[in-house]
Structures are given as structure tokens and as C-alpha cells.
Amino acid sequence: MRFTDLFTELVRAEIELWNDLDTHLAATVGISLAQYQALAAIKNGAGQARVQDISTEMIITVGATSKIVDRLERDGFAERSAHPHDRRSSIVLLSERGTSALAAAEETIESHLHTRLGGALSRDRAESLLIDLRSLRARPRVEAIQ
């Protein structure tokens, strides 16, 4: 077994799952998977978060996160307000429409992934894989040599 093969399969599986779920979510709920993840990040912050907090949770750049938040705000899923203690920052809040969309998306995503992944993995194997992936992500990163 080569780790390069494992890496390639992990990335391809992620891309295929992402694209499939993104298409399904857009068709059924009317939001993208990225928008769902941003809404979930806001919810995880007790219904409010800074763009930086959302960026950190999604593991994407602040610029990309800001564009997602702009779309959420434009479409009425979130609202921005001034940060009470930091003039350079704003707080992103879930709107009523965003809360409803998030709930619908969570249900849709779980059902879709259960069908997609449940057919390929037993519950025990899925739980084992989840543990392995969390362990992999918890390991310290190897810094790139400059």
C-alpha cells in the first residue's frame, strides 16, 4: 500500500461526495454546501460568529468566507451587525430564514448521506472510519520546508 494511493482516494472520494451533496442540497433546499457549512458554523457559535470564526471552522480563507457570508446576507439567511468590542470586525447572525434553511439542510444532508454512505459502509465500519479520520486530523501538522 502506498500512502499516495490512499491520499488520492481520500481526495477523490471527498470531491465526489461534496459535488453530489452540493447539487442535491441546492436542488432541495436552495443553498450550497458551503452556505450550509457557514450557517452551521454560525449556529455553533450560539447563533452568531465573526467571519474569522466561520473561516477557522470551515478551514478556508477569510476572503472566501466573506464572499459566502455576503451571499448569505444577500439572500436573507444571515445578518451582519457591528462587533460591540472591535470596530474592525462584525458579527454575523442567523436570520429566521437562515435558521429554517439550516434545519431543512441538516435533515436533507443526513438522509442523503445515509443513503450514499450507508450503502457502502456498515454502521460499525462508518464509526471506525470516523474515529480514524478524527485521529488523523488531530495529529500535529508537518510544517513545509522553506
> Can you give the CATH number for the domain in which 116 is found?
1.10.10.10
The pLDDT tens digits for 115-139 are 999 889 999 999 999 999 999 989 8
Q: How high is the pLDDT of residue 67?
A: 95
> What is the total count of domains within the chain?
1
Residue 10 falls within a domain, yes or no?
Answer: yes
Cα 132 to Cα 146: distance, rounded to the nearest angstrom: 30
Helix, strand or coil, per DSSP, at residue 79: strand
Structural domain containing residue 122: 3-138
State the alpha helices, DSSP H only, in the chain.
3-28, 33-44, 51-58, 62-74, 96-118, 123-138
Residue 146 falls within a domain, yes or no?
Answer: no
Q: Report the mean per-residue pLDDT for the chain.
A: 92
**The C-alpha cell that represents 52 in the structure block:** 474569522
Cα 36 to Cα 74: distance, rounded to the nearest angstrom: 15
Contact indicator for 78, 95 with CB cutoff of 8 Å: yes
Edge-to-edge order in the sheet of strand 90-94: 48-49, 90-94, 78-82
Q: How high is the pLDDT of residue 88?
A: 79
Residue 145 falls within a domain, yes or no?
Answer: no
Contact indicator for 81, 91 with CB cutoff of 8 Å: yes
pTM, two decimals, is 0.87
Contact indicator for 65, 39 with CB cutoff of 8 Å: no
Confidence of residue 73 (pLDDT cuts 50, 70, 90): very high
Contact indicator for 38, 30 with CB cutoff of 8 Å: no
Confidence of residue 81 (pLDDT cuts 50, 70, 90): confident
